Amino acid sequence: MHIATCVWQEKAAAAAGMGGGGGGIGGGWKKKKREWASVAAAAGGALNCAVSFVVFSALDVLDVVLCLVYKLVDYAVEAEWKACYCTAAAARGDAGGPRILAPPGPKVVRLSASSSKMQLEDVSDTLYVRPSLMADATKKAGPAPPALTVSPAIAEMIRGKIDRPPRPPPPAPCWSDCDCKVCHAWSAAPRSASLLYVHVQAPPPPAEAAEDVVFIHGFISSSVFWTETVFPAFSAAARGRYRMFAVDLLGFGRSPKPAESLYTLREHVEMIERSVLQRFRLGSFHVVAHSLGSVLALALAVKYPAAVKSLTLLAPPYFPVPESEAGAATQYVMRRVAPRRVWPPIAFGASMACWYEHVSRTICLTICRHHRVWDRLFRILTRNRVRTFLIEAFMCHTHNAAWHTLHNIICGSAARMDAYLDVLASQLSCKVAVFHGRDDELLPVECALAVGARVPRARVTVYDRKDHITIIVGQEDRFAAELEAIWRSAAAD
């Protein structure tokens, strides 16, 4: 049974075959070298754990302090005492906040922004159940009981919608969010406020596209991740045959960033449906998705099984949940994505963004609100266009969008991923290709291999010396050729 085609595995096997059988003095030296490397790795791991414990214990305290600071500043600037997810501990007791018993996971009843109907939204319990490092280190083994308590932050949001008459959205974003024309232009146009920003690259007239392709970016990114990389690299034949759509997901890039949205899977998928599938009348299409976008791509494929011709996933965030963790799948995925380690740096950044609501807001205040300043600095310091377009890709979002999307899509979809992949394997016939970078420190290569194991017909390719970003950036021509080959193969079937 075919599971994966892995470039790095083939090379490693070849190297092992050529280097095997060494003995004598050379073999003894190599053995000692491996032993010293093992000792050094163990010492480095212990040091990483010790430093991480100190740093993240301090961040636990800092987040509590920042919670009070932001509440005071929000009230002083906007005359509104904003709720947060820090008060979940009180809500979990019998005398705490409201409970919504709606298995199999936490849900919240909310009023739809587009109608007067009440809707049941799936939210991740990681939004409000995030044990401190000290509590996590001393907890007893075994799966946690299912969390069915809704955070007071969500409850207060619901009460505000029900108890108060509807009011128009504020004319300006939150004081800590950017208000430039890239980030906030959507609010000035009522019609476009309900649709995502979509970059369309179509064949020049009078030619007409024969097929459509939808590109979905990953977490804290935007459509420029595609339009500035692979779009210019496609051949003239591909540009004349395919109509390509690159979307800015809800809350990112030039798309709407509603302050009261919970950025759930349903909201993201419905926005893609309205903004691309329905607006441009797509009957069938290919999907190309990176990182977090892979979860949305799978959801679209399951919802439109007859429409998807091929599914290409880059660095999919799939972590098979062990049976011992089945009762707390979201918590397991959060620990895998954000392990609370200071090294490697990308894990440190992910941990701060995932575990600490107010620390991550401070990061957005420092970076996202001032992305124009950072863009100017990068333009001065480097003339590399790749560096400057990544500023827009990574920095044009709000804290509210990033925080909820991270928890509700990556962590909250933990229990859905197995079902999505099983449907893809047994009920869908579309082409499936998975790509991953061997040096990806954010989402390990085992994620792609696990997808290949779950979907046996998937072709899994792992690139040597490529990480989460350079799987595209730096090898645009190569990857554009890969995509064209996948689409041609799908059309031939």
Measured distance CA(14)–CA(10) in Å, rounded = 6
Supply φ then ψ for residue 431, to 5 degrees: -65, 140
**468 in catalytic set:** yes
Give, for 111, the enclosing helix (H) or strand (E).
strand 107-111
Q: How many CB atoms lie within 10 A of CB 224?
A: 22
Q: Which of 217, 358, 397, 404 is catalytic?
A: 217
Number of DSSP helices (H) and strands (E) in the chain, helices first: 19, 9
C-alpha distance across the termini of the chain, in Å: 21
Structure tokens given for 62: 């800092």
Compute φ and ψ for 96, nearest 5 degrees.
-90, -150
Catalytic residue among 291, 310, 351, 360: 291
Catalytic residue, candidates 268, 358, 371, 468: 468
Round to whole Å and give the CA distance between 435 and 4.
Answer: 10
Question: Looking up tokens 């390719």, which residue turns up?
Answer: 461
- Torsion sign (Cα): 117, 118, 122, 127: positive
- How large is the greatest C-alpha to C-alpha distance in the chain, in angstroms? 84
291 tagged catalytic: yes
Q: 85 pairs with which residues across the strands?
A: none
Q: Which residues are marked as active site? A: 217, 291, 440, 468
